Amino acid sequence: MDEMDAPGPGGPASERTRVRRGANRARYGRDEVLAILDAGLIAHVGVNTPDGPLVLPMVYGRDEERLFLHGAAANHLLGTGEGEEICVTVTHLDGLVMARTPFHNSMNYRSVVVRGKATRIEDEERKSYALKLVTDHIVANWDTSRPPSQIDLRRTLVLELPLTEASAKVRAGDPIDEPDDIAGPWWAGVVPVSTRFEPPVASADYTGDLEPPASISALAGRSPDDRAPSAGG
């Protein structure tokens, strides 16, 4: 068993967040779950709408207790999800695992699933707090940009989701082949996959002479893991 495939400490917060398939890859420790969320860029949000299940990619933010999602006030998915049970997933692809037979091909990954009841944030101060976390989760630029106006806030819907029911699943390491195939002539191994930020490029309609804020410039050459923020920071 690969070291990273050893079960994590603790147990699931609920039966519906228990990892059943590949249970040895489950991670229930809070720090591991938050680290995967912090390194992520995009969440996929699943809601059961009147027209059937719908899953869309969204940016997100968090504090120590809750995950925050935002969209236009008329956003169909978030509007439908308000007051309902929803599911949020974040996944990192770290490598292609190429086995000696396609049957055992896999991927190295880190993923988190969060389930719970989504609640709309109505309070203006708390909405601003949540939106700052969502913005600064990707790159801290809330304080170096134009502050949101009252119109901006009215046009934005923000949901919060408790982080109580969250679990992670992680795979790392080599392919797991059949013993009889190990001595065979077929190649086996891992193709690492990584994401890097490029240097910022000014908008074509930008007429100023300012350099990008330091937090934006600092992304160049870094991976999402390198830039992982801390909650509220």
pLDDT tens figures, 169-203: 999 999 999 999 999 999 999 999 999 999 999 99
SS3 category, 167:
strand
| Predicted local confidence at residue 9, as pLDDT | 58
SS3 category, 216:
helix
Fold of 3-194: Pnp Oxidase; Chain A (2.30.110)
Tally of CB atoms within 10 A around 3:
7
Between CA 58 and CA 199 the distance in angstroms is 23
Q: What is the DSSP string of 138-162?
A: HSS-STTSPPPPHHHHHTEEEEEEE
The mean predicted confidence, pLDDT, of the chain is 90
Q: What is the DSSP string of 104-140?
A: G-EEEEEEEEEEEEBEE---HHHHHHHHHHHHHHHSS
pLDDT tens figures, 81-120: 999 999 999 999 999 999 999 999 999 999 999 999 999 9
Q: In terms of DSSP H, where are the helices of the chain?
A: 30-39, 76-81, 124-138, 150-154, 214-217
